[in-house]
């Protein structure tokens, strides 16, 4: 090597060394912070943040008679909240209300409405009048009967209206009714139940996936507007939970019962503004969004949807 080349090498050697050292230190600090954050959320949790003394007396849960919604109502009642149950069937509402009142000894209130309609919100507003609402769980939702191409969805016109009204309009309108009172008291939590299907496009569940993506973006935008006002707003994006809506009958580690999922999810409130709510789901969310290329993920999801569609149609033909 020539003398001039050696001189150039010596000149850049020290800067390159320090650049490498600073990069390694930065990556180490970031990794340590991420690890501490993971431990904070999934090992320690938020203690008893979600409690009437810290947020307010009443919790309002939509879609409260089945699955995740029922599990939220029961868990919040166990934590001492009085519960407003909102769902379509008065018979089911009475059953869940009586069960919660007898087991947890808290006040309950029911409002029977069909969220596929848009003229229901004055009735809900009247039912919530005068209540100190600390938690709102926007859980009500509808999905597909089976994966299907957009134009082949049965009763497409009415299905579009129903999905938008239940999955999107309900979140906006319930937030409109409850948020002002939380702002007056400078405390409260709104948990919007989105879906892992809202994290990336899910073909053959197109309308559902898009509606849940709306819920996620709505939640994150709303948080930016009102975080400084003392309001917790969280986007909850579960993968499969063993419910009627998901058609998962048997709970497993990655497909928990609603009760197990909700208990885990509530420990993330105040710690994560966007959460998968359950450690195995958080790992799945990280793998699918951070590790898998979008094209590969889209191809896999499409293939899974086609397989489920084929099984459903074959079963219908045989039946």
Once rounded to an integer, what is the mean pLDDT over residues 109-130? 97
pLDDT at 174: 98
Residues 198 and 245 sit within 8 Å (Cβ to Cβ): no
Domain boundaries, the chain: 1-43, 53-318
Q: Is 144 tagged catalytic? A: no
DSSP 8-state class, residue 10: H
Model pLDDT for residues 227-238, shown as the tens digit of each residue: 999 999 999 999
pLDDT at 175: 98
pLDDT at 41: 74
Once rounded to an integer, what is the mean pLDDT over residues 82-88? 97
Inform me whether the pLDDT recorded for 1 exceeds 60.
Answer: no
DSSP 8-state class, residue 257: -
- Collect contacts of 99-103 with beta carbons under 8 A, ≥24 apart: 99/74, 100/73, 100/74, 103/74, 103/77
C-alpha 125/C-alpha 132 separation (Å) is: 13
What residues pair up with 112 in beta bridges, in sequence order?
Answer: 87
Give the least confident one: 19-28, 39-48, 183-192, 240-249: 19-28
Once rounded to an integer, what is the mean pLDDT over residues 249-267? 95
Residue 117 has a CB neighbour count (10 Å cut-off) of: 14
Give the least confident one: 33-37, 161-165, 182-186, 243-247: 33-37
Class of the 53-318 domain? alpha beta
pTM of the model: 0.88
pLDDT at 47: 77
**Active-site residue, selected from the candidate residues 208, 226, 278, 300:** 208
Model pLDDT for residues 27-57, shown as the tens digit of each residue: 666 656 666 666 667 777 877 899 999 999 9
Angle at 312 between CA 311 and CA 315, to 5 degrees: 85
Once rounded to an integer, what is the mean pLDDT over residues 104-119? 97
What residues pair up with 188 in beta bridges, in sequence order?
Answer: 231
Inform me whether the pLDDT recorded for 2 exceeds 60.
Answer: no
């Amino acid at each position: 090597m020539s003398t001039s080349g050696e001189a150039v090498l010596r000149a850049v050697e020290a800067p390159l060394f320090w650049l490498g050292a600073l990069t390694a230190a930065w990556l180490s600090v970031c990794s340590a912070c991420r690890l501490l954050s993971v431990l904070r959320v999934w090992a320690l949790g938020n203690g008893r943040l979600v409690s009437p003394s810290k947020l307010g007396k009443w919790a309002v849960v939509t879609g409260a008679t089945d699955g995740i919604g029922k599990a939220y109502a029961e868990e919040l009642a166990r934590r001492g909240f009085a519960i407003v149950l909102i769902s379509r069937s008065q018979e089911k509402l009475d059953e869940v209300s009586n069960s919660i009142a007898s087991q947890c000894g808290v006040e309950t209130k029911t409002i029977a409405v069909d969220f596929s309609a848009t003229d229901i919100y004055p009735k809900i507003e009247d039912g919530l009048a005068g209540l100190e609402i600390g938690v709102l769980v926007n859980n009500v939702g509808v999905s597909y009967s089976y994966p299907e191409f957009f134009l082949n969805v049965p009763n497409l016109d009415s299905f579009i209206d129903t999905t938008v009204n239940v999955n999107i309009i309900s979140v906006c309108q319930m937030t409109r009714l409850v948020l002002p009172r939380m702002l007056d008291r400078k405390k409260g939590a709104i948990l919007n139940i989105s879906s892992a299907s809202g994290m990336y496009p899910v073909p053959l569940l197109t309308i559902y996936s898009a509606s849940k993506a709306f819920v996620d973006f709505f939640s994150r935008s709303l948080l930016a507007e009102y975080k400084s006002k003392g309001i917790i707003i969280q986007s909850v994006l579960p993968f499969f939970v063993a419910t009627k809506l998901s058609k998962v009958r048997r709970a497993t580690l990655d497909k928990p019962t609603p009760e197990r999922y909700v208990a885990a999810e509530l420990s993330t409130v105040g710690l994560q503004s966007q959460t998968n709510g359950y450690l195995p789901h958080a790992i799945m969310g990280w793998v699918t969004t951070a590790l898998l290329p979008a094209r590969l993920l889209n191809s896999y999801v499409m293939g899974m949807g086609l397989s489920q569609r084929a099984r459903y149609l074959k079963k219908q033909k045989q039946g």
